[in-house]
Structure 1
Amino acid sequence: MLAVSDIGQFGEAYESSLRPSLADKLQVGFLASDQFTQTYDTEILDIKQMTQTVQRLVEDMAKVKRDFQFTKQVMKAAFEEKLQNKAFELYTKLNDRFRDVHELHEERVAVVRRSFKQQLQDALVKMASHYKKYYEAKLAGKLVSDDSSGKKGKIATLEAELSRHQSVIQMMEVQMEQLRVELAAQPEATEITIDTSELDAMTEQNKSLQVEISKLNDRVDDLTDSLEFREEKIKQLGLEIMEAKVEVEKEREATKRLAHQVEETKKEMGEQKMEAMKALDRQKSQKQWEKKFAILRAS
């Protein structure tokens, strides 16, 4: 231990360094870093200078706030103007696209309508031509399609007449055979003259009737083929009309899909617009924070 006389030898500076301060006696926490330390008057700044500095800082902060508000309004106005211009540009492009799609759809529908209308007109012209020829022939007496029963009756009459002639021929042949038998039974040979002119005439008439019946049958076959051809043509026209309806349905489905794609494109453009607005907001916030940090660093 040092005596009092020994302490006096070192002076008052040494004595003050050994004297405990009031801060050393104040217990605040459990750690050494929580304890107060003694502050000397030489470490305290001039209050007047500090007051002036604080006033300048307050004025600078007020000026910075005014500048920030002005800059904020300017940036907001510029952003809104750019956003309106971009929205108008997107709206114009979208309307142009809708107009192009609508014109394309109308053009394709018009082409399909013209095509099917032309096919229908051609089919009607063909049918009109066939029916015109048919009724002209009917009026001229060359074709009687509606009076098919009369034609069948005529054929039946000719066949009956042919059968009657054949019966007469057979009867006359039987009579001739009987005459031959009688002549063979006679002892003396006598010259007998038989008149066969009627038989020959009936044979010729029979042949002519057979030829006429054959012609009528050929005519009936031709008419049947013509009717079958017309029925086949009508069926073909019906199939073409059905195919045209199917094509129209396909065109409608394609139009619906195209409209759906347009709606999807519109939706995607709206989402892209929202994303762009969010990105601009993030950039704006980032710039504001960067400006604040720059102001704080400058102060």
Structure 2
Amino acid sequence: MTLGRMVFRNDSSVKEFILLGLTQQPELQLPLFFLFLGIYVVSMVGNLGLMVLIVLNTHLHTPMYYFLFNLSFIDFCYSTVITPRMLVGFVKQNIVPHAECLTQLFFFCFFVIDECYILTAMAYDRYAAICKPLLYQVTMSHQVFHLMLAGVYLMGLLGATAHTCGVLTLTFCDGNIINHYMCDIPPLQKLSCTSTATNELEVFIVVGINVLIPTLTLFISYTLIIFNILSIPSAEGRSKAFSTCGSHVIAVSFLFGASAFMYLKPSRASEDDDKISAIFYTIVGPMLNPFIYSLRNKDVHIALRRTLKKIMFV
């Protein structure tokens, strides 16, 4: 460990980074600041509000809504890790100390991997509810739920640790300007003055695992769900079953599509493309998720009405 610190001190002269942000056009800085500030506020209110509804309403105390609570919690933390630092870049030069940059990278990786696996756990929950309704209480018992939730956060911790340790092996000599609005792996690799081949391999393996496992689980779960739904005799029953899965499919497509494009494409791709694709899963996704899951959800509507009535009559 001491040797690692000595190598880091001797080889890396960069102690802070400058984030260029989303754009360098001065006329766009203020409008974009208010746009993303609005998105951040909506994201915070939406996710926090959904968490409060789930806690206050006992009829939402089921595995499905406990998973949704954790999704909102992850999105709440996720937005807080990314957006405030991005907003700083719209009003002044965004200088980030080396340690803070790595801290942001760690928590960003932690929460994005958590989100992949919580969405996967939610797909399995829908499979159990639709395909094995009579065995649902056994299939999704409290013990199974807690084991799945522990697995979600454990995979996030392992992935974030691997990515952060990988970046720690990089050496930064002179360049310290990151063409991004956050400390992310691809722009940091481009700044390194030593070979990034090992680091790129680590990223490809870890991201590949964290995309492949959820994708296979999601594919198998939804294949079984679709076959089961098609066997339902009534059109109303099929429509109801599809509606319970539609929101989840939208959220999954949003996250996995943007993140796979970001990390599994060639490193020579445009940095502007990186920033645009990152916006979808770091900022837009956490804002949309609470609305995707609540707009067509009758249980959430009932919980909202009950909570508002309690507030009004207090």
TM-score (norm 2): 0.21
Higher helix share: 1
- Structure number with bigger Rg: 1
